[in-house]
Amino acid sequence: MGRRWMKERKRDTYYLRAKREDYRSRAAYKLLQLQDKFHFMFEGMRCVDLGAAPGGWLQVELEIAGQKGRVIGVDVTTIRDLDGAILVKGDVTDSRTIDAIRQELNGNADVVLSDMAPNISGNYDLDHERSADLVLTAFSVAGQLLEQGGHFVAKLFEGRRSREIREAVSGSFRNVSVSKPAASRKQSSETYIIGMDFRG
């Protein structure tokens, strides 16, 4: 299994591009493709990235936000320093972590993004359940931090709770979409739910 995975990775276009273009992960292209389609990020934005390690999404956010923006990466693991990004180590279910994010934001966020994913067990239903719980956690954080009119993006493994998640997000955002970027592996069940224009 390990050898096959290494072989596949060496043939992976996005993995090779990330190495060439100095992104920390191939996931950067997923975010770029979603941005091209939905335009939820902008220059000067205050952005909170949940589950930000190793930092591929943060690099994209920094490029778009520019010097006037504020980009905060949050993860339970340590994120290697990234010039321009504010890094918070902590669990987003802990109120102390939310307080630390608020302090760094100095106001409300324009965008809350989550690429959080469970440790893959190989059991499809279990992985979906855990993914759904992570989306609801990210959604709860977005509800606490977002500016009215702000945007939310979160990774979701498709499954029986997908409709429940979409309905929950639809209750707080005026426009909700689900999308699978081309950079997501074809065999993966991952999609992204995008909530635009937070009602507050």
**Residue 22 in marked binding region:** no
Catalytic residue (one of 10, 30, 68, 155): 155
Distances (CA, A) of 47 to 58, 60, 70, 188: 9, 11, 6, 27
- Residue 28 CA to residue 14 CA, distance in Å, equals 9
**Residue 57 in marked binding region:** yes
Cis previous bond, 118, omega within 30: no
**Residue 115 in marked binding region:** yes
- Residue 90 CA to residue 101 CA, distance in Å, equals 10
Sign of the Cα torsion 31, 32, 38, 41 reads: positive
**Residue 2 in marked binding region:** no
- 186 carries an active-site annotation: no
DSSP secondary structure of 29-53 = HHHHHHHHHH----TT-EEEEET-T
- Residue 72 CA to residue 48 CA, distance in Å, equals 5
- Residues designated as active site: 155
Query: Which parts are annotated binding residues?
Result: 55, 57, 75, 91, 115
Task: Write out the binding residues for S-adenosyl-L-methionine.
Answer: 55, 57, 75, 91, 115
